[in-house]
Structure 1
Amino acid sequence: MARNIKLIWDFRGPAALPTAEHHEKHLQDYIAIEEIGLNITGHEQLNDMHSIAYMVVEEKNMITIRDVLKPHRGELYTSKTD
Protein backbone atom coordinates (compact mmCIF):
# COMPACT_ATOMS: atom_id res chain seq x y z
CA MET A 1 0.00 0.00 0.00
CA ALA A 2 1.39 3.37 -1.03
CA ARG A 3 2.01 5.95 1.66
CA ASN A 4 0.94 9.57 1.39
CA ILE A 5 2.91 12.54 2.67
CA LYS A 6 1.44 15.79 3.96
CA LEU A 7 3.62 18.72 2.85
CA ILE A 8 3.20 21.68 5.21
CA TRP A 9 3.84 25.41 4.91
CA ASP A 10 3.92 27.40 8.18
CA PHE A 11 2.75 31.01 8.39
CA ARG A 12 3.21 33.11 11.50
CA GLY A 13 2.06 36.52 12.64
CA PRO A 14 -1.23 38.40 12.68
CA ALA A 15 -1.86 37.67 8.97
CA ALA A 16 -1.06 33.95 9.24
CA LEU A 17 -4.60 32.66 8.62
CA PRO A 18 -5.41 34.71 5.49
CA THR A 19 -1.95 33.94 4.15
CA ALA A 20 -2.47 30.19 4.66
CA GLU A 21 -5.90 30.41 3.00
CA HIS A 22 -4.38 32.20 0.01
CA HIS A 23 -1.48 29.75 -0.21
CA GLU A 24 -3.94 26.85 -0.36
CA LYS A 25 -5.42 28.39 -3.52
CA HIS A 26 -1.97 28.31 -5.14
CA LEU A 27 -1.58 24.66 -4.13
CA GLN A 28 -4.93 23.84 -5.76
CA ASP A 29 -3.81 25.66 -8.92
CA TYR A 30 -0.59 23.63 -8.96
CA ILE A 31 -2.53 20.38 -8.64
CA ALA A 32 -4.76 21.35 -11.57
CA ILE A 33 -1.88 22.48 -13.81
CA GLU A 34 0.35 19.48 -13.06
CA GLU A 35 -2.57 17.02 -13.07
CA ILE A 36 -1.54 15.44 -9.79
CA GLY A 37 -3.61 12.38 -8.84
CA LEU A 38 -4.36 13.37 -5.26
CA ASN A 39 -6.39 16.49 -4.67
CA ILE A 40 -6.12 16.95 -0.93
CA THR A 41 -5.28 20.43 0.35
CA GLY A 42 -6.28 22.50 3.31
CA HIS A 43 -5.40 25.12 5.86
CA GLU A 44 -5.64 25.19 9.64
CA GLN A 45 -5.28 27.83 12.29
CA LEU A 46 -3.13 26.39 15.07
CA ASN A 47 -3.36 29.53 17.22
CA ASP A 48 -3.81 33.29 16.71
CA MET A 49 -0.30 33.69 15.36
CA HIS A 50 0.35 30.38 13.56
CA SER A 51 -1.50 28.83 10.64
CA ILE A 52 -0.57 26.20 8.07
CA ALA A 53 -1.43 25.32 4.51
CA TYR A 54 -0.93 21.75 3.37
CA MET A 55 -1.02 19.46 0.38
CA VAL A 56 -1.04 15.65 0.39
CA VAL A 57 1.09 13.85 -2.19
CA GLU A 58 1.95 10.25 -2.94
CA GLU A 59 5.31 9.24 -1.50
CA LYS A 60 6.66 8.39 -4.97
CA ASN A 61 6.08 12.03 -6.06
CA MET A 62 7.14 13.71 -2.84
CA ILE A 63 10.74 14.58 -3.69
CA THR A 64 9.88 16.14 -7.06
CA ILE A 65 7.04 18.21 -5.61
CA ARG A 66 9.07 19.12 -2.52
CA ASP A 67 11.91 20.45 -4.66
CA VAL A 68 9.53 22.60 -6.71
CA LEU A 69 7.23 23.94 -3.98
CA LYS A 70 9.66 24.07 -1.02
CA PRO A 71 7.40 23.19 1.92
CA HIS A 72 8.69 23.91 5.41
CA ARG A 73 8.12 20.38 6.63
CA GLY A 74 6.26 17.15 6.00
CA GLU A 75 4.68 14.26 7.85
CA LEU A 76 3.08 10.94 7.12
CA TYR A 77 -0.58 11.49 6.18
CA THR A 78 -3.39 9.40 7.58
CA SER A 79 -6.90 10.22 6.51
CA LYS A 80 -9.51 10.96 9.13
CA THR A 81 -11.48 7.88 7.99
CA ASP A 82 -8.64 5.45 8.89
Structure 2
Amino acid sequence: MNRKIKLLWDFRGPDSGETARHHALHLSEFIKREKLPLLLSGHQTINEMHAVAYMVVEESMMIQIRDALLPHRGEVYEENPG
Protein backbone atom coordinates (compact mmCIF):
# COMPACT_ATOMS: atom_id res chain seq x y z
CA MET A 1 0.00 0.00 0.00
CA ASN A 2 1.33 3.41 -0.98
CA ARG A 3 1.60 5.99 1.79
CA LYS A 4 -0.35 9.21 1.54
CA ILE A 5 1.32 12.60 1.99
CA LYS A 6 -0.44 15.76 3.14
CA LEU A 7 1.11 18.80 1.48
CA LEU A 8 0.52 22.00 3.45
CA TRP A 9 0.65 25.71 2.72
CA ASP A 10 0.78 27.85 5.88
CA PHE A 11 -0.75 31.30 6.12
CA ARG A 12 -0.34 33.59 9.11
CA GLY A 13 -1.91 36.82 10.23
CA PRO A 14 -5.42 38.15 10.79
CA ASP A 15 -6.47 37.28 7.20
CA SER A 16 -4.94 33.79 7.24
CA GLY A 17 -8.29 31.96 7.17
CA GLU A 18 -9.51 33.81 4.09
CA THR A 19 -6.13 33.43 2.37
CA ALA A 20 -6.06 29.67 3.03
CA ARG A 21 -9.62 29.31 1.72
CA HIS A 22 -8.69 31.19 -1.45
CA HIS A 23 -5.53 29.13 -1.92
CA ALA A 24 -7.57 25.93 -1.53
CA LEU A 25 -9.71 27.06 -4.48
CA HIS A 26 -6.58 27.33 -6.63
CA LEU A 27 -5.52 23.85 -5.49
CA SER A 28 -8.90 22.49 -6.57
CA GLU A 29 -8.52 24.14 -9.98
CA PHE A 30 -5.06 22.60 -10.36
CA ILE A 31 -6.40 19.16 -9.42
CA LYS A 32 -9.17 19.37 -12.02
CA ARG A 33 -6.93 20.78 -14.74
CA GLU A 34 -4.26 18.10 -14.21
CA LYS A 35 -6.87 15.33 -13.67
CA LEU A 36 -5.11 14.18 -10.50
CA PRO A 37 -6.33 11.15 -8.58
CA LEU A 38 -6.84 13.21 -5.44
CA LEU A 39 -7.77 11.85 -2.07
CA LEU A 40 -8.52 15.04 -0.18
CA SER A 41 -7.99 18.81 -0.27
CA GLY A 42 -9.23 21.85 1.58
CA HIS A 43 -8.35 24.40 4.22
CA GLN A 44 -8.30 24.50 8.00
CA THR A 45 -8.10 27.32 10.53
CA ILE A 46 -5.64 26.49 13.29
CA ASN A 47 -6.30 29.70 15.27
CA GLU A 48 -7.13 33.32 14.44
CA MET A 49 -3.57 33.95 13.25
CA HIS A 50 -2.75 30.66 11.46
CA ALA A 51 -4.52 28.68 8.76
CA VAL A 52 -3.48 26.09 6.19
CA ALA A 53 -4.51 24.94 2.76
CA TYR A 54 -3.76 21.28 2.08
CA MET A 55 -3.79 18.49 -0.45
CA VAL A 56 -3.40 14.76 0.23
CA VAL A 57 -1.64 12.80 -2.51
CA GLU A 58 -0.15 9.36 -3.04
CA GLU A 59 3.51 9.31 -2.10
CA SER A 60 4.41 8.27 -5.64
CA MET A 61 3.07 11.62 -6.93
CA MET A 62 4.43 13.79 -4.12
CA ILE A 63 7.65 14.98 -5.78
CA GLN A 64 5.89 15.92 -9.02
CA ILE A 65 3.24 17.94 -7.19
CA ARG A 66 5.73 19.40 -4.71
CA ASP A 67 7.90 20.70 -7.55
CA ALA A 68 4.89 22.17 -9.37
CA LEU A 69 3.16 23.82 -6.40
CA LEU A 70 5.93 24.43 -3.81
CA PRO A 71 4.11 23.61 -0.55
CA HIS A 72 5.64 24.93 2.67
CA ARG A 73 5.78 21.49 4.26
CA GLY A 74 4.47 17.96 4.15
CA GLU A 75 3.61 15.17 6.53
CA VAL A 76 2.54 11.55 6.35
CA TYR A 77 -1.26 11.43 6.24
CA GLU A 78 -3.03 8.87 8.37
CA GLU A 79 -6.73 8.34 7.97
CA ASN A 80 -8.78 8.18 11.14
CA PRO A 81 -10.21 4.66 11.50
CA GLY A 82 -13.97 4.89 11.75
**TM-score over 0.5 for the pair:** yes
Alignment of 1:1-80 (within 5 A): 1-80=1-80
Q: Which runs of 5+ in 2 are unaligned?
A: none
SS at match of 2:81: coil
How many pairs are equivalent?
82
Q: Which runs of 5+ in 1 are unaligned?
A: none
CA distance in 2, matches of 1:31, 1:40: 10
- TM-score of the pair, normalised by structure 1: 0.95
Percent identical: 54
- TM-score of the pair, normalised by structure 2: 0.95
Pairwise CA RMSD of aligned residues? 1.1
User: Where do 4+ consecutive residues of structure 1 move more than 6 Å?
Assistant: none
CA distance in 2, matches of 1:42, 1:16: 14
Question: Could you tell me how far 1:78 is from its partner in structure 2?
Answer: 1.1
Question: Could you tell me how far 1:38 is from its partner in structure 2?
Answer: 1.4
